[in-house]
Chains A and B, each alone.
Chain A
Amino acid sequence: MGPLIPNGIIPIEWDSIIAILIGIAFGFILESSGFSSSRKLAGVFYGYDFAVLKVFFTAGIVALIGIYYMDYLGFLDVAQLYVHPTYLWGAIIGGVIMGVGFVAGGFCPGTSLCAVAIGKIDAIIYVLGIMIGVFIFSEFYPLFDELYTGSFLGNITLVDSLGVSPYWLIFIFAIIAIIAFVVADFVGKKIKKVFY
Chain B
Amino acid sequence: MNLENQNKHTYWNPYFGGFLFGLVIIFTFYMTGRGLGASGAMKSTVVAVVDTVAPTHAENNEYYSKFISEDKSPLDTWLIFEVIGVLLGAFISGGLSGRIGWRVQHSPKITSKRRLIFALIGGILFGLGAQIARGCTSGAALSGLAVLSTGGIITMLAIFGTAYLAAYFFRKNWI
Contacts and interface: CB of A to CB of B under 8 A. Distances in A.
B5 to A, nearest CB: 18
Given A94-B132, A137-B131, A109 B45 contact: no
Instruction: Give the dominant DSSP class at B's interface.
Output: helix
Nearest to A192: B175
Most buried by A among B84, B139, B151, B157: B151
Contacts, number: 530
Contacts of A114: 86, 90, 94
Instruction: Give the dominant DSSP class at A's interface.
Output: helix
A16 B151 contact: no
A37 to B, nearest CB: 7
Nearest to B131: A137
Interface of B: 9, 11-12, 14-15, 17-36, 38-39, 42-43, 45-47, 50, 61-64, 78-79, 81-95, 97, 99-107, 115-116, 118-140, 142-167, 170-171, 173-175
B24 A26 contact: yes
Contact of B154 (A55, A91, A111, A138): A91
Nearest to A164: B148
B138 A110 contact: yes
B89 A28 contact: yes
